[in-house]
Amino acid sequence: MDVTRDSTKRPAPGPAGAPRPPAGAEMPGAAGSTAATGNALGRSLAGALTKPLIRTGPRLLGDDLDGPPTQQLTPVAAAGGSRSTAADAARADAGRVDAGQAEAPAARRPPRVDQAVRERHALALPGWLALLVLLLGAVGIAVIVARAGLLPQIEALPDLRLDAVRRSGPVGLTDPEIAGVTAVGLLLVLVLGGLLSNPGGEARVLTRWGRYRGTVRRAGLVWVNPLARRRRVDVRLRHWRSDPVTVTDRTGTPIVVRLLVVWRVRDTARAVLSVADFEAYLREQIHAVLTRTASRLPCDSNSAPGPALRDGQWFADELSRALAAEAHAAGLEVYSAQPVALEYAPEVAESMRRRRLADLDAGLRTVLVDDAVEAAALAVRRLERATAHELDEAARSALMEQLLVAFVAPAGVSAPVPAPAVRAARQEAAGARREGRPA
């Protein structure tokens, strides 16, 4: 008998809706396998019933073909509902942010830099080479003319004349000699036209037929293309003191500012080809940046504490930063822009001076009165300790009044001090008002 094979007869599986046979009807050896098979079959049937046969994906409408896809129309499962909802919310927020950025007005930006126009070195040869060519050409022409006998003979120099010239006298130049002299002469003219004396601290921008050919920054005698147009540009460190510029601060008060700007030309190609006049461009940008920066803060902060335009470090830093950004597109480099004079306009200078003096006077009076009150109170307490006798309210008030008059009058503060009776009446009236009864 084969013991490896189970010969027990197993029941055939019935339909899904059929009831299961009772546990007692099954054989003892097949009870565990039958129960496991039934449980697995039940789980598979339940999963098939709960899963939809057709899954609905993102639905694209006719108007949405050019835009982002719309949200899914099918509900999400309970297990991944929170994750999908968070993702949908994030996508919706991103869409709203993008829409807000698209609808928001663009902030003012400095002019863009033209990347096609950039300084580069031009072809420039040392000047001594050109001088050497000029010398050799001049010597060659002199030799040709001397051999033809067209130059007077000098005894100290060797005789270069031909034998025919010595016998019959000077003769004209032959056609080959004329062609050689003409070619050497044209070469000398080209070499002489390309000589350029470039002093230190200056550069030459070369253009030929309107096209940029490079910049020569080499100082001294150089040779460049004689057909190129040369424009002189000062590349040294320069400073410019502006004329009085009238602007308004944050409070609308007109002020007059004078600036000292330290700058230089960094990119000669952009300075010459990007703008019509880079110096005029810089002056206009200085006025515009000064007007925009001065309108951010008040000129003085006497009445309200806080930053003001009198803070020269902040004012200079903001002016330098903004002006450097505006001038960069024109090939200019701004090192510093600092105010050297900041004052009110003539039409409001007198009134602002009186207002400032009044504020200082009021502050001084407050300080003097506070110090006098503290000194009088301290004097009264010392007097009571020295006499070992405590004064009543009326006597203390009268003594305080006399001490205040004695302390304040020499300082020039004419503050009226109310009499004790008047102070008592005022205190009684204030207490009546607090209690709600007629004074």
Q: What is the tens place of the pLDDT at every residue in 253-285?
A: 899 999 999 999 999 999 999 999 999 999 999
The better pLDDT of the pair 352, 304 is held by: 352
Q: What is the DSSP letter of 121?
A: B
Stretch among 13-27, 191-205, 326-340 having the lowest mean pLDDT: 13-27
CATH number attached to the domain at 238-344:
3.30.479.30
From-to residues of CATH 3.30.479.30 in the chain: 238-344
Exposed/middle/buried for residue 76 (C-beta within 10 Å: 0-12, 13-18, 19+): middle
- Joined tokens for residue 53: 């046969």
For residue 378, give both structure tokens. 């301290």
Q: Is 336 exposed, middle or buried (0-12, 13-18, 19+ CB in 10 A)?
A: middle
Q: What is the mean pLDDT of the chain?
A: 74
Its sign, for the CA torsion 52, 54, 59, 65, is positive
Positive/negative CA dihedral, 230, 233, 234, 235: negative
Q: Span 236-241, mean pLDDT?
A: 93
CA distance 273 to 292: 28
Helix (H, G, I), strand (E, B) or coil at 180: helix
Confidence of residue 321 (pLDDT cuts 50, 70, 90): very high
Question: Encoding tokens for residue 115?
Answer: 């990347």
- pTM comes to 0.56
Long-range contact list for 38-46, CB < 8 A, 24+ apart? 41/13, 41/16, 45/16
Of the candidates 342, 299, 124, the one whose C-alpha atom is nearest the C-alpha of residue 215 is 124
Confidence of residue 327 (pLDDT cuts 50, 70, 90): very high
**Tokens representing 415?**
């503050």
Which pLDDT score, from 0 to 100, does residue 439 have?
A: 54
Q: Which residues of 175-204 are buried (b: 16+ CB within 10 A; e: fewer)?
A: eeeeeebeebeeebeebeebebebeeeebb
299 touches 356 (CB < 8 A) = no
Residue 273 makes CB contacts below 8 A (sequence gap 6+) with 117, 205, 207, 212
Q: Is the pLDDT of residue 346 over 70?
A: yes
Is beta strand 229-234 parallel, antiparallel or unpaired with respect to 202-208? antiparallel
Q: What is the pLDDT of residues 154-198, one digit of tens each?
A: 666 666 666 666 666 666 677 788 888 889 899 999 999 999 999
103 or 119: whose pLDDT is higher?
A: 119
pLDDT computed for residue 193 by the predictor: 92
Helix (H) / strand (E) element for 268: namely helix 268-273
List helix spans (H) across 195-267. none
pLDDT at position 311, please?
81
In the predicted model, is pLDDT for residue 430 greater than 80? no
How many Cβ atoms sit within 10 Å of the Cβ of residue 108?
A: 6
